[in-house]
Amino acid sequence: MQVNYYLNLANQYYQAQQYQLALIYYQQYAQEVGQGDREFYYCLGDIYQKLGDYELAIQTYYQGISFYPDWDWFYSEIVWVLHICGATEESRLFANQAYQLFPQSGKLRWESGLLLPIIYESVAEIEFCRHRFAKYLDNLINTTIFNTQGQDINQDINSIYLALETYTNFFLQYQGKIDLELQSKYGDFLHWVMTKKFPQWSSLSYLQQKHQLEPKSKPKTKIKVGYISHFFKWHTVFRVFQGFISQANHDVFEIYAYYTDSIVDQATEKVKAASDYFQQIPQDVSTLCQQIVKDQLDILVFLDLSMSPISNQVAALRLAPIQCLLWGHPVTSGLPSIDYYLSSDLLEPANGQDHYREKLIRLPNIGIYFPEPELVELVKTRQDYGLPEEKIIYLSCQSLFKYLPQYDYIFPAIAQVVTNAKLVFIAAASCTTPPVTEKFCHRLHRAFAEYGLNSADYCVFLPGQTYTDFQQINLLADVFLDSFGWSGGMTSLDAINCSLPIVTCPGELMRGRQSAGFLTRIGVEETIAQSPQEYIEIAIHLGLDPNYRQWIAQKMHQQKSRLYNDRTCVAALEAFYQQVSRW
């Protein structure tokens, strides 16, 4: 009885995401029974992952294999842990070996060919991995859709569907390339798998028929718009797009929100309060789709894709007559089931449509209603974060996978002239494990060495910060160095709120132009470079000239309000909804 008590408590705390408490009771349970069932080892290994102890996670999965060698999920989890620790090649090799043991495992099949590194050592590695990804995707398509190896097609679909419950192609977009062709090929394959799995939601025709035949209890008076996301919680996606829900015109529109995660916080409650109907359906594709179809939406809007598997799965189906995508992850979906891409006029290049499979809609200005943030007061000192008072602090705080190796030289080129520079990076625990950080440090060491400098003298990595501390660091820094190819989004909005001068160089694609668009909107274009060399020169000027730096900061402070509470974006979006919502 006591043993079951430990296990029940452990499971309850695990489901509530209280991992430290769950770990205590799982360990007590293990001491009592000696051997658990296979779900015990799976959950325990997952807890170690969540707590950042990857070595113990792998040990736990190997222990599970020793008792349950026929369960392929243990092998797949080892692959994943190796991958997020930066050992992508090792993880792929392990996946290949495991796939030989479990040839029906869709997850291992996926992992053996489609895993991409989190960050890259070199441009050559990017090209090699991209080519391999494309080649394996072609092979997966040929052996599945065209069934060139004569498999049981239904078993194959179910197998791949299990992989799609775990994986997206998130890291493909961080190679700095135009992804339209690969995304479309991937999107067609995803659409094929999902519509074979759920043929009842495969096309527009069933919706038209349903709309025409089903009796209506009352005349339709409002346009039904549904917003779906895994991030209706304190997250960048919520912060950027909450305005479209909170500012909706409820005289014209009926707002439905579909939340696919289990976490509930103040952000969740805000979305719930601002919606006419709110559904929280975590990790259940079938139930989620049934609810959306039941609600008979006119328009379904995905806030983000490629960031959570369930969003990708649902987006590959046809659940509303009009389906749109916002730029929570700014890249084309590649899906034939998404009709419109809702972007921003200031963030898109002139040829932006060339980068999307969807029809591009350019909303005015920065394309969002962003509520005016609270004024941040400086209450801490540099000493609180181990930063020297006498240095020029350059804050470069993007996720490490945004940094492309061909631009590493930017940092030593600045430090070579601004000799008292301190370059501050932040390793976010949620996406950057120590081995990945070490790989990036190695790249910086190599880049600085080419300039005759020691990176350790100039670079510092801070651990992941609370949002309050992150704001304080923005106030304490002197200059914000934007990343190339994939610029800051929410981080840049935070920097502007703190009047921290931003150096940026707009790229070819929208995802590399966000900071430049924000600065253009507030009329502070002096720090927008047109080349890497000009970027270096602007960064040096800001570092060496405190008066110029203060002038830029003051200009940002005076004009940043142009970013906030912009209802023209909401009006334009709702006008678009009215235009396209008729059958």
Q: Would 208 be classed as within a structural domain?
A: no
**CB distance 230 to 304 below 8 Å:** yes
The domain spanning residue 46 has which CATH number?
A: 1.25.40.10
Give residue-wise pLDDT tens across range 399-453.
999 999 999 999 999 999 999 999 999 985 544 457 788 899 999 999 999 999 9
Q: Would 12 be classed as within a structural domain?
A: yes
Residue 35 sits in the same domain as residue 96: no
pLDDT of residue 7: 87
Residue 316 sits in the same domain as residue 435: no
pLDDT of residue 430: 44
DSSP conformation class of 119: S
Residue 376 — very low, low, confident or very high, per pLDDT cuts 50/70/90?
confident
Boundary of a domain, candidates 139, 166, 193: 166
- Dist CA 521 CA 346 (whole Å): 8
Of residues 148 and 371, the one with the higher pLDDT is 371
- Dist CA 73 CA 555 (whole Å): 55
pLDDT of residue 552: 98
pLDDT of residue 150: 60
Give residue-wise pLDDT tens across range 172-208.
999 999 999 999 999 999 999 999 999 999 987 766 6
Residue 23 sits in the same domain as residue 145: no
Residue 358 sits in the same domain as residue 464: no
Total number of domains in the chain? 4
Q: Would 177 be classed as within a structural domain?
A: no
Mean pLDDT of 51-68: 94
Tell whether the model's pLDDT for residue 398 goes beyond 70: yes
Give residue-wise pLDDT tens across range 101-131.
999 898 999 999 999 999 999 999 999 999 9
Residue 539 sits in the same domain as residue 574: no
**CB distance 403 to 482 below 8 Å:** no
Name the average pLDDT for the chain.
Answer: 93
Dihedral (C-alpha) 441, 445, 448, 449: value to the nearest 10 degrees? -170
The domain spanning residue 541 has which CATH number?
A: 3.40.50.2000
Looking at the chain, the whole-number percentage of residues with pLDDT higher than 90 is 82
Residue 246 domain boundaries: 221-371+569-580
Taking the whole predicted model, whether its pTM rises above 0.85 is answered as: yes
pLDDT of residue 144: 87
Q: Would 116 be classed as within a structural domain?
A: yes
pLDDT of residue 535: 98
Residue 47 sits in the same domain as residue 89: no
Boundary of a domain, candidates 148, 166, 184: 166
The crossing angle, in degrees rounded to 10, of helices 88-101 and 106-114 is 150
Q: From start to end of 334-436, where are the E strands?
A: 340-344, 359-363, 392-395, 421-427
Mean pLDDT of 552-576: 97
Boundary of a domain, candidates 60, 92, 109: 60
Dihedral (C-alpha) 203, 207, 208, 210: value to the nearest 10 degrees? 140
Q: How many CB atoms within 10 Å of residue 209?
A: 10
Residue 74 sits in the same domain as residue 15: no
Residue 237 sits in the same domain as residue 290: yes
Q: Would 282 be classed as within a structural domain?
A: yes
Q: Would 203 be classed as within a structural domain?
A: no
Residue 154 — very low, low, confident or very high, per pLDDT cuts 50/70/90?
confident
Residue 484 sits in the same domain as residue 444: yes
Give residue-wise pLDDT tens across range 208-244.
665 555 555 555 689 999 999 999 999 999 999 999 9
Residue 16 — very low, low, confident or very high, per pLDDT cuts 50/70/90?
confident
Give residue-wise pLDDT tens across range 251-300.
999 999 999 999 999 999 999 999 999 999 998 999 999 999 999 999 99
Residue 312 sits in the same domain as residue 438: no
Amino acid at 234: W
Residue 430 sits in the same domain as residue 515: yes
The domain spanning residue 306 has which CATH number?
A: 3.40.50.11380
Q: Would 190 be classed as within a structural domain?
A: no
Q: Would 216 be classed as within a structural domain?
A: no
Residue 332 sits in the same domain as residue 459: no
